[in-house]
Amino acid sequence: MITSGRSGNRFEGGDLVVASLKALGVRQIFSVSGGPLNSIYSACAAQALPLHHARHEAGACFMAEAISRITAIPGVVAVTLGPGVTNTVTPALVARMAGTPLLIIGAQANTGAFDRGAGMSADHIPIMAPVTKFAARVLQTERIPEYIEIAFRKMWAGTPGPVFLEIPVNVLAAPAVEGHLPSFAHAWPGLSQRDRDVLRAAIAGARRPLLLIGDDVRWDPPQHLKKIVEQLHVPFASLRLARGAIEETHPQCIGPGYIPCNKTLRRGLQEADLVILLGHHFEFDLEFGRSVGQATRVMQCVVDPANLGRNRKADFGAVASPGAFVDMVADIRAEGLDRVWVDGLAQAWRTERAGQCAASNEGDPLHPVAAIDAVLAALPDDATLVCSHGNVDFWVDARVQLKHPNRYLRAGQSGALGAEVPYGIGARFAHPDRPVVVFVGDGGIGYHAIELETAVRYNRPVIIVVLDDRKWGAIALPQRMAYGGEFEMDLPMRDWPKVAQGLGGGGAHARTKQEIAAAIRDALASSFPAIVQIPVRSVLSPYMAHISQ
């Protein structure tokens, strides 16, 4: 928390950092206390840029990335040198694989001590370059605004992603002169007339079109996407960052764009005569295009040329923004549409989803689906949901039905555990009045549960739902199938609500749907972070069943 401003008329490198970030729209900085960053900290106070200190650099980084995902304003984290920087490697990798903008500012020793073995000093650039889009060192104080502008341009070029700037302590603390500040406005690519003609003709002639709404829609959200979907009467599924771009209770929704947990999507990709891949490429969640039928044509529209035709050739392709694509199809009608197929596919998803629920009888402990549904039923429509990457994610993904965009954070692109709790806290920093619920397993909670203290300190209450099957379930169940046993997979049940209480929050244990509903209501009414621990059965998810075949 900011306690004081700069004394006198002192203005230095840290002030240039903060002024530059504010000029580019940044609204807050995350950090973990590090002496070489004092110039930035003091400048935050002097220039009224909120500064939030987490308990671990990875936690701070995940919080900053959550800001990017929810607000589309790049998150910023400032960390000290050496281990402070290396603790950001995993979050940087997550942001790189997710395609989310993130600026990591790393401190460095005094330039006069370079190559002399200064305490904590390390060669950061070779460490950060492989997990970022751009990694550079700033050696002149007056060039700080220039490098920050370059970093933003690199961050947004093509597929968004993380960037890294190293600034030595004497460069940050050197006197500076107020002057030119960076400016940056991202320009999204449009469609050529030739591309418009080809794409329009393909859509107009489709009988069984299927729309996949991808990540680019998060960064360039088309105003009339829902109108176009209804006008064309096309079934749709949303991927990753685009979930909720159209409410997933819509009658033409066929579930998440996540093949391993969605049999209906697999069927649709086989039977469609045209798959429209808007703002995405055929990556792991889409099985690299392997599920697309042999006779199915693919239309792909992406902002990054590197993703055009990636993993599966597009029959019709264009480098353009989602907004340009939606404008292009504004007056198209699919005259030969097979409405029976479209409506049947959407009904198949509703039947599939209902079947998941019917298969999860009450029992003790609860089936994961029963526990998840009980939590969701107790939440307001505007809640932000955060999910793990593990057995919890594999159940949650098919159960949530997003009614708003930018309300679902999942670190699944990289397969990383640990982002869940910091994501939830970051989401509450982005929108302090919006409820946030984090689903995590008894494995994932162990990474950054300590950040609940950060949530308490800054009055950012989040609800952490721990689905506890007392093992590393995502690994244990396939391991048992393949090798006839489990090897060091058990996790004894621990009292996670007590952990929350020890950190200044609250919590409850819940075993039934009624107890879950009461615990969630109590947590929503509280002004403190809370952990709700729910014992669940260790059962194989549709995701693991599919990929283990």
Dihedral of CA 78/80/82/86: which sign? negative
What value does the mean pLDDT take over residues 210-227?
Answer: 96
Quick one: how many helices (H) and strands (E) in the chain? 23, 18
Q: Are 540 and 489 in contact (CB under 8 A)?
A: no
Read off the amino acid at residue 362. E
Residue 403: pLDDT band (50, 70, 90) is: very high
pLDDT of residue 120: 81
Distance, in Å, from the CA atom of 41 to the CA atom of 19, rounded to the nearest integer, reads: 12
- Which residues make Cβ contacts (< 8 Å) with residue 269, sequence separation at least 6? 210, 259, 275, 286, 291, 292, 293, 296
Q: Are 535 and 511 in contact (CB under 8 A)?
A: yes
Looking at domain 13-173, which of 3.40.50.300, 3.30.1650.10, 3.40.50.970, 3.20.20.190 is its CATH number?
3.40.50.970
Judge if pTM exceeds 0.85: yes
Mean pLDDT (the chain, rounded)? 93
- Same CATH fold assignment for domains 193-349 and 360-547: yes
Of 504, 428, 416, 500, the C-alpha closest to 465 is 500
- Topology of the domain comprising 360-547: Rossmann fold (3.40.50)
Residue 413: pLDDT band (50, 70, 90) is: confident
Q: 148: which 2 tokens?
A: 């920050």
Looking at domain 193-349, which of 3.40.50.1220, 3.30.420.40, 3.40.50.720, 1.20.1250.40 is its CATH number?
3.40.50.1220
Q: 60: which 2 tokens?
A: 């701070």
- Which residues make Cβ contacts (< 8 Å) with residue 124, sequence separation at least 6? 81, 85, 106, 108, 135, 137, 164, 166
Which element (helix H / strand E) includes 103?
strand 102-108
Of 465, 467, 460, 485, the C-alpha closest to 475 is 485
Whether the per-residue pLDDT at 362 is higher than 90: the answer is no
Residue 549: pLDDT band (50, 70, 90) is: low
DSSP 29-92: EEE---GGGHHHHHHHHHHT--EEE-SSHHHHHHHHHHHHHHHSSPEEEEE-STHHHHTTHHHH
**Per mean pLDDT, which range of 31-45, 113-127, 199-213 is the poorest?**
113-127
Residue 59: pLDDT band (50, 70, 90) is: very high
Whether the per-residue pLDDT at 3 is higher than 80: the answer is no
Q: Please tell me whether residue 396 adopts helix, strand or coil conformation.
A: helix
pLDDT of residue 356: 82
pLDDT of residue 6: 55
Residue 8: pLDDT band (50, 70, 90) is: low
Distance, in Å, from the CA atom of 239 to the CA atom of 237, rounded to the nearest integer, reads: 7
The residue behind tokens 């794409």 is 199
Read off the amino acid at residue 346. A
Of 49, 168, 67, the C-alpha closest to 120 is 168
Residue 358: pLDDT band (50, 70, 90) is: low
Which element (helix H / strand E) includes 124?
helix 124-128
Q: 247: which 2 tokens?
A: 């409410």
Q: Are 232 and 297 in contact (CB under 8 A)?
A: no
Whether the per-residue pLDDT at 359 is higher than 80: the answer is no
480-494 per-position pLDDT tens digit: 888 989 899 999 999
Question: So where are the chain's domains?
Answer: 13-173, 193-349, 360-547
Distance, in Å, from the CA atom of 2 to the CA atom of 468, rounded to the nearest integer, reads: 38
Between strands 274-278 and 29-31, the pairing is unpaired
DSSP 473-509: HHHHHHHHHHHSS-SS-B-----HHHHHHHTT-EEEE
Phi, psi dihedrals of residue 456, rounded to the nearest 5°: -65, -45
Q: 441: which 2 tokens?
A: 């397993």
Distance, in Å, from the CA atom of 29 to the CA atom of 18, rounded to the nearest integer, reads: 9
**Per mean pLDDT, which range of 91-100, 248-257, 484-493 is the poorest?**
484-493
> Rounded to a whole number, what is the distance in angstroms from the first to the last CA of the chain?
51
pLDDT of residue 5: 47
Whether the per-residue pLDDT at 414 is higher than 90: the answer is no
